[in-house]
């Protein structure tokens, strides 16, 4: 049996439950609750967060393909950010001891420790959390176009691959249509 290329929601909930602090919880929510690439998340500054509109601005210097974009922050993500930042309004979202920001490898070490503590036997990595976000979005009826914008894909064909991973969205779509009723 092939391992799923995304986490089930209950697996993500286990990760959040065992996270040792608000920083780890926020890190998980930024990857699996926003769908950021790990390099984008490492480069986020607190000033990029727009709490009033629940947006995060990704400057082109931090985005793949040098294309800036604005992503949606769900209420759970905003809560995780507010709790973690505790009023801090400037600087790197995830600062390192050296004074710059955490790097992708450091993020992977943190996720490895969390997944081991959660008892998840397969390898959990930042891109798996991004894939999970995309699959969950499709399953909950987010349009492929909106998902494409959130993920920063230049081609909708890249985003469309998530439709195969979440076939239940088709059932919901047909049921909502009321075609034969």
111 part of a folded domain: yes
- Whole-angstrom Cα distance, residue 121 to residue 119? 6
CB 22 within 8 A of CB 85: no
In a domain, 3, yes or no: no
> CA 7 → CA 3, 18, 53, 139, 179, distances in Å?
10, 16, 28, 13, 33
**Is residue 155 included in any domain, yes or no?**
yes
37 classed as catalytic: yes
pLDDT score at 2: 44
How does pLDDT run across 52-98, given as a tens digit for each residue? 999 999 987 777 777 889 999 999 999 999 999 999 999 999 999 99
137-160: average pLDDT: 85
What's the structural domain count of the chain? 1
169 is annotated as an active-site residue = no
Catalytic pick among 64, 82, 117, 125: 64
Q: What is the pLDDT of residue 3?
A: 56
At residue 170 the predicted structure's pLDDT band, cuts being 50, 70 and 90, is low
Distance from C-alpha of 8 to C-alpha of 107, rounded to nearest angstrom: 21
Identify whether 79 is part of a domain.
Answer: yes
Whether 2 maps to a domain, the answer reads no
For 52, the domain range is: 9-176
Catalytic status, residue 130: yes
**Contact indicator for 54, 42 with CB cutoff of 8 Å:** no
Cα distances (angstroms) measured from residue 9 to each of 51, 95, 135, 165: 25, 28, 10, 14
Instruction: Kindly name the residue from 127, 140, 145, 170 that is annotated as catalytic.
Output: 127
For residue 39, how many other CB atoms are within 10 A of its CB? 14
C-alpha 158/C-alpha 113 separation (Å) is 30
Q: Are 101 and 42 in contact (CB under 8 A)?
A: yes
What pLDDT does 9 receive?
92
Which residues have a Cβ under 8 Å from the Cβ of 98 and sit 6 or more positions away? none
Task: From the candidates 23, 69, 101, 153, give the one annotated as an active-site residue.
Answer: 153
- DSSP 8-state secondary structure symbol assigned to residue 8: -
Is there a domain that residue 4 lies in?
Answer: no
- Here the tokens at position 154 are 């230049």
Can 162 be counted among the known catalytic residues? Answer: yes
State yes or no: pLDDT of 181 exceeds 90. no
Out of 14, 84, 101, 162, pick the active-site residue: 162
What would you report as the CA-atom Rg of the chain, rounded to the nearest whole angstrom? Answer: 17
Please tell me which residue in 14, 23, 25, 37 is annotated as part of the active site.
37
Mean pLDDT computed over every residue of the chain: 89
CATH number of the domain encompassing residue 70: 1.10.443.10
Query: 123 - beta bridge partners?
Result: none
Residue 80 belongs to a domain:
yes
Q: Which one is catalytic: 23, 25, 101, 130?
A: 130
Q: Does the structure show a pLDDT above 80 at 4?
A: no
Note whether residue 131 is domain-resident: yes
């Amino acid at each position: 049996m092939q391992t799923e290329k995304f986490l089930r929601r209950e697996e993500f909930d286990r990760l959040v439950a065992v996270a040792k602090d608000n920083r780890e919880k926020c890190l998980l929510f930024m990857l699996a609750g926003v769908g950021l690439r790990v390099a984008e998340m490492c480069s986020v500054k607190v000033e990029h967060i727009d709490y009033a509109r629940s947006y995060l601005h990704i400057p082109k210097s931090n985005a793949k393909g040098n294309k800036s974009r604005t992503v949606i922050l769900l209420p759970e993500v905003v809560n995780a950010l507010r709790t973690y930042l505790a009023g801090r309004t400037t600087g790197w979202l995830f600062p390192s001891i050296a004074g710059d920001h955490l790097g992708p490898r450091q993020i992977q070490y943190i996720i490895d420790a969390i997944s081991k503590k959660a008892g998840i036997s397969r390898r959990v990595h930042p891109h798996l959390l991004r894939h999970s976000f995309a699959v969950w979005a499709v399953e909950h009826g987010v349009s492929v176009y909106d998902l494409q914008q959130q993920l920063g894909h230049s081609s909708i064909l890249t985003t469309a691959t998530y439709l195969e991973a979440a076939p239940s969205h088709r059932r919901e779509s047909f049921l909502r249509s009321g075609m034969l009723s």
